[in-house]
């Protein structure tokens, strides 16, 4: 049975130990002594599951927005060099808004 990181993370320690008991690998030796956090890492290694949680950006072209942020960062550097504080504030606000858009679209 294929497991995912999120699925394993939601299981109890007893359920995770049952899964480890069914595995005959060196990585899960001593599973009865491990707490949930360590057992999760060991199971993921044994089952070859990626331990990072992946997020999806929905309803937004992330690469396009990232390009806009890069352009604004160049303009920000120019404004800093010119000591234009009003323009600098506006650019920083735009960068912040774009980053918030990406964050809000992330699931």
Instruction: Show me where the domains of the chain are located.
Output: 5-47, 62-105
Question: 44 and 89 in contact (C-beta within 8 Å)?
Answer: no
The contacts of residue 58 (CB under 8 Å, 6+ apart) are 105, 106, 107
Q: Render pLDDT for 27-60 as a digit per residue (tens, 0 to 9).
A: 788 888 889 999 998 898 888 888 777 778 888 9
pTM over 0.95: no
Q: Is the dihedral of CA 75, 80, 81, 84 positive or negative?
A: positive
């Amino acid at each position: 049975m294929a497991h995912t990181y999120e699925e394993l993370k939601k299981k109890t320690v007893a359920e995770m130990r049952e899964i480890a008991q069914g595995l005959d690998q060196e990585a899960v030796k001593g599973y009865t002594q491990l707490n949930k956090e360590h057992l999760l890492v060991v199971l993921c290694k044994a089952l070859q599951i990626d331990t990072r949680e992946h997020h999806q950006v929905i309803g937004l072209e992330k690469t396009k927005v990232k390009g806009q942020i890069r352009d604004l960062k160049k303009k920000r550097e120019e404004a800093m060099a010119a000591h234009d504080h009003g323009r600098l504030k506006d650019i920083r606000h735009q960068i912040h808004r774009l980053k918030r858009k990406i964050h809000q679209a992330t699931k």
